A and B are shown apart, each in its own frame.
Chain A
């Protein structure tokens, strides 16, 4: 924990040094473009920061969807029925091997043709294309997190539950899941960081989130170095906040487990 705190502090100091040295070094830098002390810089900075809601919104919905789909896929993977286990393997291996950008294009440009005229036809706008892509590609990982978390609970636990007459479902509900959840939640929360970072890809189909706004601003201002530095700091702040939440969660989980 302390070493992680030190690392966090180190990264913040490093980022600070980068900004300071950049400001003071020479005239090649043009911090005016995002300088909060200047009228124009303030407007630009605000334009960039206003991408946060979209990035957070798309990531949160994608994560929720991924956690739901992943659970279903994981349950299939632990089924006594071979067919379900095979479906699980194919799903996980297949989804894991598709790069994000091709999947995004397939869904944004391709899916509308596939669902045209069917009962679940819907408008595949950049937002939903992004959500579906991120959720799909992440769900293979969440499925494996659920599965390994549940399977890490010793077999003796479910055997003991059976010997006191619990059904399979009751064994899951009262014995296995309450223990597995402590091992599942922290890596699941870490997956959220992955989604946040990958959400930058959605900018290429026109979603107005952090990345897209930085691109747009750069098109007007031609100040790539300054603008993308701010962009990176924006992601850094968001990810550091999430990791702090994850660590808090991990600590709470550990407290609950007397061993």
Chain B
């Protein structure tokens, strides 16, 4: 592993099609270690697809994606290497409904990192503390609120001790009063742990607070990038300006 490489994620000229539909068009994106990137853009612009290509939930057809210096190819070894470095938090939480919170958290460490049960549970308790719901360990996901479920999902990713965390609209499925409890946890990860993060979100307050780099996507292309002060203060393209106007109005 190239530890001298300062780039956590490198995407070069990435193209992807769903059948005939050209969903990603020449995506170039570099994410440095410890950097936080926030991606926004209208629905259907390809934000999820970009993020899902990074951990190989989707396969790109052209271009190069490197994660921690390892190029994503079809072989098992590179996919396994990348999966162990990259955690992901989904819009719909995707917790395992038949398992308790504790079992959700220990499954990965026990099965894929061959940890014993006691160690895995100790690890899980540490991260449940971290997301501030240690008392829910023995409940099933269905008994928790949306905000609590998403925090469990974050803890589940953290239990794999990833170097990079991907968030795909982590607060979009939540009732408004639960959004901040999830964002607070994410801000904590960014500020206290210096975690490398790519976050797809429309929470612009969060973006202003933690983003090092803003990315605006439209119709499968990255239209605009830049640090948040410039991005919000002086958007370069018309499309980005109207988009920001629309979401900041609310």
Contacts and interface: CB of A to CB of B under 8 A. Distances in A.
Contacts of B87: 163-164
Contacts of A154: 92, 94
B248 to A, nearest CB: 30
B108 interface: yes
A161 B107 CA distance: 9
Contacts of A102: none
B84 A165 contact: yes
A166 B107 contact: yes
Nearest to B159: A164
A39 interface: no
Given A156-B92, A160-B90, A165-B83, A256 B98 contact: yes
A154 B97 CA distance: 11
A28 interface: no
A163 B97 contact: no
Contacts of A156: 90, 92, 94
B142 A160 contact: no
B117 interface: no
B135 to A, nearest CB: 17
Contacts of A157: 94, 96
A123 interface: no
Interface residues of B, number: 28
B97 A258 contact: yes
A174 interface: yes
A164 B97 contact: no
B157 interface: yes
A257 B99 CA distance: 10
Contacts, number: 68
B209 interface: no
Given A163-B55, A163-B157, A166-B107, A258 B143 contact: yes
Contacts of A258: 97, 140, 142-143
B169 to A, nearest CB: 13
A82 to B, nearest CB: 17
A157 B111 CA distance: 16
Contacts of A165: 80, 83-84, 108, 111-113, 160
Interface in B73-128: 80, 83-84, 86-88, 90, 92, 94-98, 107-108, 111-113
Given A156-B92, A258-B142, A164 B98 contact: no
Interface in A130-176: 154, 156-157, 159-167, 170, 174-175
B247 interface: no
A259 B143 CA distance: 7
B213 to A, nearest CB: 23
Main secondary structure of the interface of A (DSSP, over half): helix
Contacts of A163: 55, 57, 83, 86-88, 157
Given A165-B83, A179-B97, A258-B143, A159 B57 contact: yes
A257 B142 CA distance: 9
B160 A162 contact: no
Contacts of B156: 160, 164
B54 to A, nearest CB: 11
Contacts of B159: 164
B170 to A, nearest CB: 13
Contact of A174 (B83, B111, B157): B111
A170 B80 CA distance: 14
Contact of B111 (A166, A179, A256, A259): A166
Given A156-B94, A160-B94, A161-B96, 8 more contacts: A160-B96, A163-B83, A163-B157, A167-B112, A174-B111, A179-B96, A258-B97, A259-B142
18 contacts: A157-B96, A159-B57, A159-B90, A160-B94, A160-B95, A160-B96, A162-B83, A163-B55, A163-B83, A163-B87, A163-B88, A164-B159, A165-B108, A166-B108, A166-B111, A166-B112, A170-B112, A258-B142
